[in-house]
Amino acid sequence: METTFREIEASSALHYHTREFSTNWDMNIYRGCGHRCRYCFAQYTHYYLNSDNFFDEIFVKTNISDVLEKDMSKRTWKNDPVNICGVTDCYQPAEIRYKLVPKVLKRFIQHKNPIVITTKSKLIERDFELIKELNELTEVRIGISVTTVNEKLRRILEPYAAPTVDRFKALEKFSKIGCKTAVLLMPVIPYMTDFRTNLDEIFRLTYNSGAKRLLAWPLHLRGNTKGMFFAFIKESYPQLYPKFREMYPGRSSNVKKEYFKYIMDMVYELRCKYSLFNPKDEPDAPPIQPTLFD
C-alpha cells in the first residue's frame, strides 16, 4: 500500500507525562511510523487521529520547529530534557523527505536544551554535526532499539528499519563524541529473539559500541497490537501460534510471570558478564526494573 502523508500544523510541541522513562517531556514530529515493526506498541495512538492505518498514513507536523520555539520561549520552561522520539521515531523514512529534525535540533542548540533520541535508523548520522554541537552545550542522550542480530529475521520483524549492525555503528560514533548512549533490547520476543546467543551478542555489541546502559523487556502487546501481531504469527509462523496464545492468554497483554522472570534473570547474568549495570542497579541481585540512562 502506498504511504499517504498528511501535513498538519501543531498547536504545541512539548508534552508532559507524569511517568518518567528517559524524561517526563516528549514531542512527536511525526505520527504514525514507516518502519512497520510487526510488534509496534504505538499503533493504538492513531485512533486519536481518526485513522486506523498507523504504517501507511503518516501525519507530518510541518510547523514543529516554530511551535517548539514558542514552547521553549515561555518563562515557565525550565530546560528539562526532551525526548524528540516520543511515540514515533523522528528518523523514520518520512524524515528523508521532510527533513524536519535538523530544524528542531537547531532550536535545541539555540536554547542549550538537553534532548533524548531513541531510534532504529542510521539516518541519525546525517545530523552528526548538529548533535555534536548540541552535546558540547548540554547533555544529549542517544539510544538505539534492537531486537535481533539475525538479519533475515530482522527484515521480517522490522522491514523498513536499519540493519542491526548499522545501528550499532551509529551508536559507536555518538559514544565517541561523549553523548550518553544506551541500547533498548526491546522487545524480547518469545520463541523468536529470546535465545541466549542472540541476547549475548546484543550485549557484546552494546559493550563494544561504548554504550554504558542496556534496558531489556519482553514483548508487551497493548491494544490492537495484540490482534495484529497474532495475525502475523498465524500467517507467517503458524507453528508458533499456539505457543503465543498460551503465553498471552485471553486478553492479557503481558507475558506469563514465570517467563518474565526467566528473561530478566538471563538479562541480569549478561549484565554481570559485560558489566553493563545502571547506577541504580544492585550488583548482587537482579534488578526489578532497570532504568535506561539514569
% the chain with pLDDT above 90: 83
> How much is the pLDDT for 129?
98
% the chain with pLDDT above 70: 91
Region 96-124: mean pLDDT is 98
> How much is the pLDDT for 284?
42
Nine-digit cell string for 204: 557484546
Domain with 64, as residue range(s), is 1-138
Residue 269: inside a domain = no
Residue 162: inside a domain = no
Q: What is the pLDDT of residues 156-214, one digit of tens each?
A: 999 999 999 999 999 999 999 999 999 999 999 999 999 999 999 999 999 999 999 99
Residue 155: inside a domain = no
CA distance 173 to 274: 20
> How much is the pLDDT for 290?
41
> How much is the pLDDT for 178?
97
The pLDDT mean for the chain works out to 92
Q: What is the pLDDT of residues 42-98, one digit of tens each?
A: 777 766 566 678 889 999 999 999 999 999 999 999 999 999 998 899 999 999 999
CA distance 286 to 5: 45
Long-range residue pairs from 254-259, CB within 8 A, at least 24 positions apart, any chain: 254/218, 254/220, 255/190, 255/218, 255/219, 259/190, 259/218
Residue 8: inside a domain = yes
CB 179 within 8 A of CB 212: no
Cα–Cα–Cα angle for 9, 10, 13, rounded to 5 degrees: 145
CA distance 49 to 238: 33
Does residue 292 or residue 123 have the better pLDDT?
A: 123
Query: Residue 7 above 60 pLDDT?
Result: yes
Residue 120: inside a domain = yes
Domain count, the chain: 1
Secondary structure letter of residue 171 according to DSSP: H
> How much is the pLDDT for 228?
92
Q: What is the pLDDT of residues 232-254, one digit of tens each?
A: 999 999 999 999 999 999 999 99
Query: Residue 107 above 60 pLDDT?
Result: yes
Q: What is the pLDDT of residues 247-287, one digit of tens each?
A: 999 999 999 999 999 999 999 999 999 999 765 554 444 44
CB-based contacts of 45: which residues, under 8 Å, 6+ apart? 31, 54, 87
CB 156 within 8 A of CB 38: yes
Is the overall model pTM greater than 0.85, yes or no? Answer: yes
CB 185 within 8 A of CB 61: no
CA distance 226 to 126: 34
CA distance 275 to 212: 9
Residue 12: inside a domain = yes
Residue 19: inside a domain = yes
CA distance 90 to 60: 10
> How much is the pLDDT for 169?
98
Residue 253: inside a domain = no
